[in-house]
Structure 1
Amino acid sequence: MFIFVVLSLVSLLSLGSTYSTLSDETLKRLPSPGDDFNIKTGALLAPILRPRVSGTEGSAAVLQHFVDFFTKNLPEWTLEIHNSSSTTPTSGGREVPFRNLIATRDPPGSSSGEVGRLALVAHYDSKLTPKGFIGATDSAAPCAMLLHMARSIDAALTSMWAARATHGLDALEEAKGVQILLLDGEEAFQSWTDTDSLYGARALAADWEYAYHTAGSTYRTPLDSIELFVLLDLLGAVSPRVPSYFKTTHWAYKNMADIEHRLRELGLFKSSPNHPARMAKRKNKKPRTEPHFLTEAKKVDEAFLGGFVQDDHVPFMARGVDILHIIPTPFPRVWHEIDDDGENLDMNTVEDWTRLVTAFASEWMGLEGFFNSATSRAIHEDKSEFEIP
């Protein structure tokens, strides 16, 4: 009973805040993907671990996997397929289709132009060469991370918005939504150029720039609605080091780094040399140096020299969207090699990234106090269909 009262009080206090730090207990309760990330049979990850070059049968199958996941498990999310097409250097003049999936969860009763959104992004296509390339870090694993994140926060979002309504708070006050963009055509077909890369991202950013909301809306376009664009790429290899690329979003990087530090302190990072399971097997129980994924939390303004990695964020950044790019430097050893497959994923690292991204999204959306063991992994039974155009 005491725990219930405390959580209820925290919930009420967080209703009026824009960002709420997750408690230690909530961090501990965030669900693990478990068997869903099994590379052979996992419901989330295994279907993505296949060649999925844009315009191919593999690409269509993976897109259908995403659609099925949302329609069967998360019916409150609105799905949209953004279609475009382009010739490529290898298509012989044929138009190749590119299909982005946009999954959105906004507060009930809100209109699109009144909601600022956290956009979490990964590309789902794989590279044409080498033949049979899987792209597990690039970017099957990041896509699976986002599916798990959506499922993990869904019930808490419902609880938070219901609590706001119960307490008579304006639906548009602090209106926040979350959006997952699974983008097609990031990879170059021949060699990386401004025109042979980022096919889906370029088309979507260009279309959204002029997709005006109704007159008088708080946000003019879907681009304006994106408060932060968090792009995940090349994640899943052991010992990643992710710099802070942009001074304008270093505050968000530091927030994520703070969460990482807390997760490590709580013994919740499986890849940590000081994880309790590893410590128990060592004769020398003395803690080892704790590495971090996010290595530049203390970076000062003068150290930002303007360099960044070309990726799906570029067309959005060029149009004024704030970017948090989560990509390691240096790239994983398997980058663009045939052995970037499921067998070479470090699953502890994959799970750690998943927990970190889920916690970051939860704090951004102000979900402290709205999780519990019964609802954090709630699976809806709605069987409505979403047809891919």
Structure 2
Amino acid sequence: MSRRTRFFWGIFLCCLIIQFYFIYWNSRKSFREFPNDENYFNETLAKLLVPRWAGSPGHIQVSDFLVKSLKKRGFHTVLDHFYDGIPFTNIVAIMNMEANNFLMLSCHYDSKFLNGSTNYLVFFDGHESFEDVNDDFNSLNGSRHFTEVELILMQSIEVVIAFNLIGAPNHIYMSHYERTYKLHTRMADIEQELRESGKLSNCHQLFHKLKDHESDIEDDHYPFLLKGVPALHIIPHTFPDVWHTESDTIQNLHFPTIRNMNLIVTRFVYKYLNDHVSDKDIESRFD
């Protein structure tokens, strides 16, 4: 196996860990006071740049790193071990154990095996690990198991935000579900606010107030949709050219896109938590 790895997901995992560390410790501060620690970002990124399909040494290495990093930053961390053909482990990090409702940010932390080559976070396992998929191994092992055992009661999850394939240049992001369209437009508004204030890197517009509600791909948010949980799928309109190839390396990542996405999502989550009300209607949350 080449030391190169497919890690578009891994890049954004870094961003989430960094920024939620800041949100956790600066929850009483205004957004403009949040620091932007580039050195910490680079150090975290380096820990993820290994092939990490389920069962590999790199998978264990990255899993251990995520758990240690989350615990160090005050998250209550749960390891959800399960067997679905091979052993898998979901990583669940909860910011507030006393919360009754949750905003769930999710992504997978395993990479694909290729022959010849209030708030809480969930890192799903068993998404990329198999070269071929079938009814038994459909690349949603971790998220499907999570919803089946209900590590967090489905009715307590207000919305699941699934991040996918972020890191390529010139990609745009559209809304995939009417139920969360207002949350998507809030992302677009936040991007515009940050751009006008000069806080974003020189980069194309990421979030567009466009509806693409008929063409979403099956991913880790699907088991939650089947349980009635609203989903916001943050995925580019087209796949990265280097996706699942040996060229999917750090050299082909577009860091202005990554930095801007990081800032947009950070402010979105901060405002979601700061403006949170008891109203259960997710569609009116940002009216």
Q: Does 1:313 align with 2:221?
A: yes
Q: Offset of 1:62 from its aligned partner?
A: 0.3
Shift of 1:202: 1.1
Number of residues of Structure 1 aligned to a counterpart in Structure 2: 248
Task: Give the C-alpha shift of residue 36 in structure 1.
Answer: 2.3
Distance 2:77 2:212 in 1: 37
Instruction: Give ranges in structure 2 of 5+ residues lacking alignment.
Output: 1-28, 277-287
Structure 1: gaps spanning 5 or more residues: 1-24, 88-95, 133-176, 212-220, 273-290, 369-389
For the pair 1:129 / 2:124, whether they are aligned, the reply is: no
Counterpart of 2:124 (choices 159, 165, 183) is 183
Aligned pair partner of 1:104 in 94, 97, 107:
94
User: Contact 1:119–1:179 at 8 Å: present in 2 too?
Assistant: yes
Tell me which of 244, 247, 253 is aligned to 2:178.
247
Give 1:79's aligned amino acid: T
Aligned to 1:5: none
TM-score under structure 1 length normalisation: 0.60
Q: 1:64 & 1:79 partners in 2: Cα distance?
A: 11
Native 8 Å contact 1:52 1:59 kept in 2: yes
Structure 2 distance, partners of 1:202, 1:131, is 29
Q: Could you say which residue in structure 2 is the equivalent of 1:348? A: 256
CA deviation after TM superposition for structure 1 residue 266, in Å = 1.2
Q: CA deviation at 1:307?
A: 2.5
Match of 1:30 among 28, 34, 40: 34
Task: Tell me by how many angstroms 1:27 deviates.
Answer: 4.3
* TM-aligned CA deviation for residue 367 of structure 1: 7.1
CA distance in 1, matches of 2:115, 2:144: 24
Query: 1:245·1:325 contact (CA, 8 Å) conserved in 2?
Result: yes
- C-alpha separation in 1, matches of 2:35 and 2:120: 20
Q: Report the CA distance between 1:37 and its aligned residue.
A: 2.7
Q: Deviations over 1:57-91 (max 9, x none)?
A: 1111101001111222x12x21100111122xxxx
The answer on 1:293 being equivalent to 2:206 is yes
Q: Distance in 1 between matches of 2:82 and 2:200?
A: 40
In the alignment, which residue of structure 1 is the partner of 2:79?
Answer: 81
Superposition deviation, residue 317 in structure 1: 0.9
Q: Which amino acid aligns with 2:119?
A: V
2:188 aligned partner: 257
Structure with more relative contact order (C-alpha pairs < 8 Å, separation 6 or more): 1
Distance in structure 1 (CA, Å) of the matches to 2:239 and 2:116: 21
CA gap 1:206/1:53 in 2 versus in 1, 3 angstroms: same
Change (3 A) 1:364 1:305: closer
- CA-based RMSD of the aligned residues comes to 2.2
Q: 1:239 to 1:130 in 2, by over 3 A?
A: farther
* 2:5 matched residue in structure 1: none
Instruction: State the Cα distance separating 1:331 from its structure 2 match.
Output: 1.1
CA offset at residue 195 of structure 1?
3.1
Q: Partner amino acid for 1:102?
A: V
Distance 1:130 1:357 in 2: 35
Residue 165 of structure 2: aligned partner = 234
Q: Kindly, what percent of the aligned residue pairs are identical?
A: 30
> How far apart, in 1, do the equivalents of 2:183 and 2:102 lie?
14
Q: Tell me which residue corresponds to 1:198.
A: 140
Matching of residues 1-389 of structure 1 within 5 Å: 26-38=30-42, 42=43, 44-72=44-72, 74-75=73-74, 77-87=75-85, 96-106=86-96, 110=98, 115-132=100-117, 177-187=118-128, 189-196=130-137, 197-208=139-150, 222-272=153-203, 291-295=204-208, 297=209, 299=210, 305-366=213-274
**Secondary structure of the corresponding residue to residue 207 of structure 2:** coil
- What amino acid maps onto 2:95 in structure 1? R
Contact 1:188-1:198 at 8 Å conserved across structures: no
* Partner amino acid, structure 2, of 1:308: D
For 1:51 and 1:29, locate their aligned partners in 2 and report how far apart those are by CA, in whole Å: 36
